[in-house]
């Protein structure tokens, strides 16, 4: 649609509302305001208009204000939820350093709008100006109670350092990348980094683009407190009953919980089985003359599940060679002796846990540096100063449902 057609018929610009559902209450906690153009019975999205950089910024701002004004009017009158999320192009926002946006909100504060219920939503990777100046403006707006959300995290060229500088209250993660299953593994890695960042800066994760049950489960499993998407509800011209999906979400979350508990029980059982198995083997061969002899003997007994075994001391220095399974043959790799692994995430933490509990630990899933295979490692305390590491094959994990 031509931009001039929109501007000359700005009275036909209307807000639509996409509900935001919460995990903790299973209800609608807020709405994101979306721009639509209504022409007779036909309703068209204004997304392409707002993202078209050939349209002058002042035109986009004018339409933005029209949508926002109507949305705030309706929100103040009906008070349908806790939050109202308003999109702004950060480049347009910075034309007057957010002043016109703030003044519009202050007008509605006089009509009963609580500014701590307003979420300003921006997309960081589209911003072309000075990120520190944008950060200052957002900090200023936050003094009025306005919350800040950064959209499309993990998409295109989002920079986590820039996001940290903006210190948003909400991080919005687009799950549409999960449509292609081939991207899930790499997306998991990006998501893990984002979840760590969210925890560090105290931000809440909001997952958008949820279009099926699998994506909802993925969002729930990966720390999502809030959810949006057509699977839950499409954008609507009016507000919805707050408990619209409460029963459905409660049932789905129950299914997710049962699945997760079953997975955790499986991992606990595997860990217990290895505890008993490895304890018996270590006790049986405790009189061997060296750690290399110990891992050579253990390899024969653990050939069904492992492809690499070695021993480290409490500081992470390797006290044995690697014994590595190549095909059906085990071979010693002496070049690994005295290599240090304390730099690995959780290494020293796990040493302390094993020492205090006097029990082995099954790691989370990770990609092996050398083979690229997805594996888990079972670690076991031989004595107070030495620890056994047994890398488990993906085939074994898959057979025992420990690959998830």
Q: Are residues 97 and 140 both part of a single domain?
A: yes
Q: Are residues 328 and 221 both part of a single domain?
A: no
In a domain, 245, yes or no: no
Q: Residue 296 pairs with which residues in a beta bridge?
A: none
When divided into structural domains, the chain yields a total of 2
In a domain, 235, yes or no: no
In a domain, 287, yes or no: yes
Given the structure tokens 């701590």, which residue do they identify?
116
The token pair that represents 231 in the structure block:
């699977």
In a domain, 241, yes or no: no
The maximal CA–CA distance of the chain, rounded, in angstroms, is 89
Question: Full-prediction pTM beyond 0.85?
Answer: yes
Q: How many CB atoms lie within 10 A of CB 357?
A: 10
Q: Are residues 272 and 218 both part of a single domain?
A: no
Exposed e or buried b per residue across 162-189, where buried means at least 16 C-beta atoms within 10 angstroms of its C-beta: bbeebebbbbbbbbebbeeeeeeeebee
Q: Are residues 168 and 274 both part of a single domain?
A: no
Q: Are residues 269 and 217 both part of a single domain?
A: no
Residues belonging to the chain = 404
Q: Are residues 265 and 225 both part of a single domain?
A: no
Among residues 229, 246, 281, the one where a domain terminates is: 229
pLDDT in tens, the chain (404 residues): 688 889 999 999 999 999 999 999 999 999 999 999 998 889 999 999 988 888 888 898 999 999 999 999 999 999 999 999 999 999 989 999 999 999 999 999 999 999 999 999 998 777 889 999 999 999 999 999 999 999 987 665 457 788 888 999 999 998 876 565 445 556 777 787 888 889 989 999 999 999 999 999 999 999 999 999 999 999 999 999 999 999 999 999 999 999 999 999 999 999 999 999 999 999 999 999 999 999 999 999 999 999 999 999 999 999 999 999 999 999 999 999 999 999 998 899 999 999 999 999 999 988 898 998 999 999 999 999 999 999 999 999 999 988 77
In a domain, 247, yes or no: no
Instruction: List the one residue out of 93, 90, 74, 96 whose CA is nearest residue 15.
Output: 74
In a domain, 205, yes or no: yes
95: containing domain: 3-229
Q: Are residues 138 and 280 both part of a single domain?
A: no
Q: Are residues 82 and 28 both part of a single domain?
A: yes
Q: Are residues 93 and 135 both part of a single domain?
A: yes
Q: Are residues 128 and 217 both part of a single domain?
A: yes
């Amino acid at each position: 649609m031509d931009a001039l057609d929109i501007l000359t018929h700005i009275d036909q610009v209307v807000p639509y509302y996409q509900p935001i559902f919460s995990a903790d209450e299973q209800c609608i906690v807020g709405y994101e305001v979306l721009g639509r153009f209504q022409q007779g019975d036909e309703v068209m999205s204004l997304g392409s208009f707002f993202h078209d950089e050939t349209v002058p910024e002042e035109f986009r701002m004018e339409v933005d204000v029209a949508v926002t004004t109507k949305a705030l009017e309706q929100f103040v009158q009906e008070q349908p939820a806790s939050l109202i999320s308003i999109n702004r192009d950060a480049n347009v926002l910075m034309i007057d350093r957010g002043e016109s946006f703030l003044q519009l909100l202050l007008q509605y504060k006089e009509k009963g709008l609580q500014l701590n219920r307003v979420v300003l939503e921006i997309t960081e990777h589209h911003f072309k100006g000075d990120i520190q100046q944008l950060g200052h403006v957002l900090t200023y707006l936050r003094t009025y109670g306005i919350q800040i959300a950064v959209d499309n995290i993990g998409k295109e060229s989002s920079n986590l350092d820039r996001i940290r500088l903006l210190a948003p209250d909400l991080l919005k993660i687009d799950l549409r990348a999960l449509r292609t299953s081939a991207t899930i593994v790499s997306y998991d890695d990006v998501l893990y980094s984002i979840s760590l960042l969210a925890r560090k800066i105290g931000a809440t994760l909001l997952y958008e683009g949820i279009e099926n049950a699998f994506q909802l489960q993925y969002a729930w499993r990966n720390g999502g407190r809030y959810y949006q998407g057509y699977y839950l509800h499409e954008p609507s011209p009016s507000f919805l009953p707050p408990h619209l999906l409460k029963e459905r979400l409660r049932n789905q979350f129950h299914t997710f919980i049962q699945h997760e508990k079953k997975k955790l029980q499986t991992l606990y059982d595997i860990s217990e089985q290895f505890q008993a198995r490895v304890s018996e083997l270590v006790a049986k061969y405790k009189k061997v003359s060296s750690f290399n002899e110990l891992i050579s003997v253990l390899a024969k007994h653990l050939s069904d599940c492992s492809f690499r075994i070695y021993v480290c001391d409490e500081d992470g220095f390797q006290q044995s060679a690697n014994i590595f399974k190549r095909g059906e043959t085990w071979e010693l790799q002496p070049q690994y002796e005295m290599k240090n692994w304390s730099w690995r995430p959780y290494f020293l933490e796990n040493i302390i846990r094993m020492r205090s509990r006097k029990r082995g630990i099954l790691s989370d899933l990770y990609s092996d540096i050398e083979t690229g295979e997805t594996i888990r490692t079972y670690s076991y305390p031989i004595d107070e100063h030495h620890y056994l590491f047994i890398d488990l094959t993906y085939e074994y994990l898959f057979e025992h449902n420990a690959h998830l």
